[in-house]
Structure 1
C-alpha cells in the first residue's frame, strides 16, 4: 500500500492542487524564472566578452531553435501523460521508474541550485545598493535571508497571488529593455544598425562553446510549464501553448535585446566595453540612451527581476516536491495541500528551510555571494538542466515508439531527436568548459578540473544515482508500493 492510499478516501482532495491559470499566467511565471533583465544585464555581457563577441546574439537564436524542437516532444507527451511531475514523469513513462526517480532528483538539484545561486546574488546587490545610498553596511546573507522569507510567504499562499506579482515585475523588466532597444534603433546606435551579429564568420569567432553555455543557461525555467498542470485551466491545451509561447518569446526577446546591446556600442567597440565592466554594462547603456531615468530604473528592476526569478523557482520546486511526495518517494506530509490557499504549503516550508540552511552554511564557510555562490551553483544548474532535457527527449521518443499513441512522426520522433542531439552537444560543451564556469583555473589562467569543479560535477552524478538506487530499494523492500508508483512515475 502506498503512502497515498494509507490516507483513505479523503487523501485525493487533500493532495490535489487546484487553480484556473491560463496560458498568459503560466508563461509569465516560467519566463520570470528565466529572469530576462538579469540575463540581458549579466549573462549577455559575459557571453560577448568570453564567448564569440559580436556574434553572441546569434547563439540565443540557435538555443531557441534547439529548445523549440525539444518543446515539440514535450507538448506531444503532455497530452497523453496527464501528470504534473513534468520531466521526471515523462522519463518514468518512457524509460521506467528507476530512470524517472533519477531524473526527479536531478531536477531537484537543478532548481535548488539555481534558486540558491540567485539568492546569493540578490543579497549582494541589495547590500551594495543600500550601502551606496548611505545605508548601513550589512552582510549579504542578511539580505538573502530576508528575500527567502518574503518568497516563502508568497509561496505558501495560492499560486494566483505569485502569478499576479510575477506578471507585474516581468512586464516592467521586459518593458525597460524594449524601450532601450527602441532608443538604439531610433538613434541608429553607435555605428549604425547592421546584421553583423548573425554573420557566420562572427558566429564561429572566439569561443562559441562558452557563449553557447551562457545562452543555454539563460533559458532555464521555460521548461517548467507542465509542473503547473493541476493548477491550469484546460491543461490539455494550456500547457502545450504555454510551452511554445515561453520558448519562442524568450528566444526572440534575448536575441533582440542582445542585438540591441551590440548596436548600442557598435560591433567594433562592444567587446572592449564589456571587458571594462561586464556587470555594469547594462546600466551604462541605459544611462547613455535613456538618461538618469533609465539608469535608476534598471538598477531597481535588476533587484525586482532577481526576486521574480527566485519566487518563480520556489513555486517550481515546491510542486516538484509535491509530485514526488505523491509518488511516495518523499515524506507523505510534503504532499499536503493547504485547505484555504490550495497550495503545497508544507512543500513550500521545506523549500524555504532548505534555502535558509544553505545560505547560512555558505555564510559560515565565507563564500563570496557572486564569484562562488552564484557562479558555482548556476554552473551546476546549467549542466544539470541540459542533461535532464536531453534525457527527457530520449524518453519521449521511447514512449511513443512503445505505445503508438501518437503517430505524428515530426512531433514524436524527428523534433525530439533533433532536440536530443542539440542538447547533448550543449551538455558536452558545458562539461568541457565547466572549470572555467566555476573559476577552476591554474596560475596561467588555464582551466583545470580541480577540487571545486570535481565536487560540483560529483553532485550532478550523485543525485540521479541516489534516485535510481532509491527506486531499486523500493522495488526490493516494498514491491506493492513500487508497482503503484504510478501516481507520478510509471512505465
Structure 2
C-alpha cells in the first residue's frame, strides 16, 4: 500500500492521533549534532572565552569548564533517567509537571518559551553584526545588521518548517566545520609550545581561584546552554529510551572537554601569566589573533567565515526547540490546538515553526527600530536573560526528578534517583546564585536593567502558574491534560 493509499484509508481519529506525535529517525549522533550546534563551539571559543579570561579567573578558566561539566553530568543522571519514563517534546515542562505539580510545570513552560525566544533574538543580533562586518571586510557595502538577520530568519524558517532530519544534516556539516577549525588552532598552539611552553597550571586550585572565579564559572555555564535540548527530540528519536540518555551524556562530556581543552589552548597561546591582560586588550580578536600567529592567515579567515555559519547553526537549533515546546503546549490545549498538529508530510511542528519565525521577526524589528546595538545590547541582554532562565529551569527539573521517583517508585536505584539528582540540584543552585549575583556583568547593563530581566522571568512563571490554578477550577478537563501526553 502506498503512503497516499494509507493516508486516504485513515479515519479522522487515526489521522489526528498520528498528527499529535512527531516522527523522525534521529539517532545519538543526530541529537548530539543538534545540541552541540546549539552551544555554538566557535562562538564560545572566540567570544565567551576571551571575556571570561579578561574579567573572570584568567588562566583558571579551563578548570571552571570542567567543574560545570561535572555539575551538569550529575544533573544528567536524573534528567536522562526521566526521559525513559516521560517522552515529550516539552521536556522541562513535562518533567516538572509530572514531578512537582501542574501549575509549577506550566509556569516553567512559560519561562522556557521566554528563555529560548530570548536566546534566538540574541543570536540574531550577533549573527547580523558578524555577517555585516564580514561582508564589509570583503569589500561589500555596509549592510544593516538587521537586514542580514532577517535573511537568516527566512532560511531558518524554511528549514524549521521541514522534517527535522534536514536540520540535522545541515547542523551536522556546520558543526563539524567549526569544531575542525578550533581543533586545528588547539593542536597548532600546543604543538608549537605556546608562548611559554605547555603547562597544566590552569587546572590547579591556585589558578582556579585567580581573579574572579565566580564570573569565570558563570560564563562557563552560559557556554553549555542548549545541551538540555536532548530530551526535546525524544519523540523524533529511533529509540528514545536508549538514544536520549546516551546523547545527553555524550553532549555534556563532549562540550565540557572541548571547551576546557580549547580554553586551555588559548591560555597556552599567550602564557598563563599574560593571558588575562592580553584578553583585556583584545577581547574580540584574542582567539583570531592566536589562530593567525600559530596557524596562519588562511585559518583566521576561515574562522571568521565559520563564525557566521556557527551562529546560523545556533539559530536553527533553538528555533527547532521553541517550535517543539509550542507543539507540546498545543497538544495539551494550553495554546490553540493547531499548534499541536504535526505537518502531514514533513511530520514537523510546522505551525510552531511559523509562529516562532513571526515572533522573532517582531522582537528583532523592535530592537532595530529602537536603534539598539546588536552586540552590546541585543546579544548581551538577551543571552543573559536566557542563561538565567534556563539555569533556573534546570534546577526546577532536578527537583522534579527527585519528587517524581519518590512518588512513583518506578526506579529505586539510590544513585540514579536520589544522590546524583540531589548533588546536581545543589550544584545548579550554586550556579544560579552566581549568575544572580553577577547578572549585571553577564548582561553588560545596569542594576535596573538586571532587575527588569529578572522580573520578566518571575512574571512569566507567575502567569503560567496562575493560569494552571485558574483552570483547575474553571477548566478541569484542560487542567487534567497538563503534562499527560507521552509520545
TM-score (norm 1): 0.95
Local SS of the residue matching 1:487: coil
Q: Could you tell me how far apart the structure 1 residues matched to 2:189 and 2:368 are?
A: 41
Distance 1:170 1:277 in 2: 26
1:403 to 404, 408, 415: 408
Q: Residues of 1 paired with 2:87 and 2:138: CA distance?
A: 51
Residue of 37, 40, 48 corresponding to 1:43: 48
Deviations 1:54-85 (A, max 9, x none): 10111000000000000000111111123332
What pairs up with 1:328-367 in 2 under 5 angstroms? 328-367=333-372
Runs of 4+ in 1 over 3 A off after TM superposition: 7-10, 486-489
Aligned to 2:8: none
Q: 1:469 is matched with which residue: 442, 466, 469?
A: 466
Q: Is the 8 A contact 1:170 1:305 kept in 2?
A: yes
Partner of 1:4: none
Task: Give 3-state SS (helix, strand or coil) of 1:430's partner.
Answer: helix
RMSD between aligned alpha carbons? 1.3
Alignment of 1:67-146 (within 5 A): 67-146=72-151
More displaced stretch, 11-20 vs 93-102: 11-20
| Counterpart Cα distance in 1 of 2:169 and 2:481 | 37
Q: Which residue of 1 aligns with 2:175?
A: 170
Q: Contact 1:326–1:487 (CA<8 Å) still a contact in 2?
A: no
Instruction: Measure, in 2, the Cα distance between the counterparts of 1:60 and 1:161.
Output: 31
Q: Secondary structure at the match of 2:104?
A: helix
Of 414, 421, 430, the match for 1:425: 430
CA deviation after TM superposition for structure 1 residue 8, in Å: 4.5
**Given the alignment of the two structures, is residue 453 of structure 1 paired with residue 458 of structure 2, yes or no?**
no
2:34 aligned partner = 29
Q: 2: CA distance between counterparts of 1:286 and 1:486?
A: 48
Task: Please give the alpha-carbon distance, in whole angstroms, between the structure 1 residues aligned to 2:137 and 2:257.
Answer: 35
1:205-354 equivalences under 5 Å are 205-354=210-359
Gaps of 5+ in 1: 1-6, 442-448
Q: 1: distance between equivalents of 2:344 and 2:28? A: 25
Give the whole-Å Cα distance in 1 for the aligned partners of 2:303 and 2:140: 20
Q: Distance in 2 between matches of 1:354 and 1:83?
A: 23
What CA deviation, in whole Å up to 9, does each residue of 1:378-425 have, x standing for no partner? Answer: 111111111100010011001101111111110111101111011101
| C-alpha deviation, 1:338, in angstroms | 1.2
TM-score by length of 2: 0.96
Q: 2:373 aligned with 1:376, yes or no?
A: no
Contact residue 74 and residue 420 of structure 2 kept, 8 A: yes
| Structure 2, unpaired ranges of 5+ | 1-11
CA separation in 1, counterparts of 2:219 and 2:122? Answer: 15
Q: Following TM superposition, by how much is the alpha carbon of 1:204 offset from its aligned partner in structure 2, in angstroms?
A: 1.1
